[in-house]
Amino acid sequence: MIGVGSAPLKPLAGLRVLEFAQIAAGPFTGSLFADLGADVVKIERPDGGDGMRGWPPLHAGENGTDPFSGNFSSLNRNKRSVALDIKNKADVERLYALVENADIFVENFRPGALIRAGLGYEQLRLCNSRLVYCSLTGYGQTGPYAQKGAFDVTVQAMSGVMSVTGEPDGPPVKCGVPVGDFVTGLYAAFTILAATMRARQTGQGAHIDCSILGSLLGISALQTSEYFGTGKPPRRLGSAHPRNAPYAGFDAADKPFTIAAGNDKLWRDTCAIVGRPDLSDDQRFVTQSLRAQNQDQLAAILQPIFATRTAAEWLAAFDAKGVPCAPINNFADILSDPHVREMGWVQPMTMPNGSTAETVGFPIGISDFAFEITRTPPKLGEHSEEVFDEWTQRRTARAL
């Protein structure tokens, strides 16, 4: 379908989303909708708004004034902001007016908090039966942990993810990226779209219970199936793999790199590259399973060889044979990488104070759609009257 003029219609154009959430999981959910063209309205409390507004890096405007958060901007571009106090009866009534015209409502309060404010799913569906209402929490709406406080690191710990992260002889560590928050946002957005499709067919919305704990268990399918199959919890392996080798990081003469010789052909190619074709016939390493079982012995053979040349030399040799390999980059390395730049993932972003920064845009390609930042990340309450005017007029027009 083509929109106005010759510009293709954005994939989610026409969807109206109320995002009543802060920090990471909820705003990331909303950003996925906003980046694909939905009208995402961020509901914030008037006294400070989303707590991430104060997170560094802070980009100063002209003359060093009006600092604006780069962290907040990365998750809240392409949205509008409305400031409402849910302790104020008049503001709650205004929020209900927006709910009447919304398709989706995203919130990340503790279970029961919005019900007490008159904004739970069962309360809101009375004025909009097709509303898809998504609750993001640490542990879910029910169960012994429902009221337990949660941040990404605590649920990584609870979920078992930390138990398999880190070196074998070291302590458990959290993933350096807040994987719990962000994978929960992905699960939420996917499920919201599924429920929205059903709501358009049936006229009936849904309440989605999306937890960080459930989401982390969902992406731990290989680890949970290993436990179910063996009765033993998986252990920390550093960068190694429990069922593949060599599939890990190694130290070259100058810096570390990784290889993933994930099948027998790639293993034979690796033997040729390192000048040890005899290893492919070594009875300890002739099958993928045996290589995994004996990977400590295999690493002890390969590591001294890798230490004789630079990482760039090894990477060039492996790439020439098609063996998956990579440098171990930091974010400065990868964000300036020519491939990332060629893909167009890094884009400029202007903030409300006029300062500019780069950001990673929507990283998935869709034919006939080009991601762009059409709205700067909003000031707190910047669009309050604008949104009420637009949404209320549309509601009135529908009633007429």
Mean pLDDT of the chain: 93
Give just the sign of the alpha carbon dihedral 385, 386, 387, 390.
Answer: positive
Which string of DSSP letters, residue by residue, matches 12-33?
TTT-EEEEE--SSHHHHHHHHH
Contacts 24+ apart (CB under 8 A), 391-400: 391/16, 391/41, 391/97, 391/98, 391/101, 392/97, 392/101, 394/101, 395/97, 395/100, 395/101, 398/101
Active site residues: 181
Which pLDDT band holds residue 7 (cuts at 50, 70, 90)? low
- What is the enclosing helix (H) or strand (E) of 136? strand 132-137
| pLDDT tens digit sequence for 72-123 | 999 999 999 999 999 999 999 999 999 999 999 999 999 999 999 999 999 9
Indicate the helix (H) or strand (E) that contains 44: strand 39-44
pTM for the model = 0.91
Mean pLDDT of 20-33: 96
In the predicted model, is pLDDT for residue 3 greater than 60?
no
Q: Exposed (0-12), middle (13-18) or buried (19+): which is 221, by Cβ within 10 Å?
A: exposed
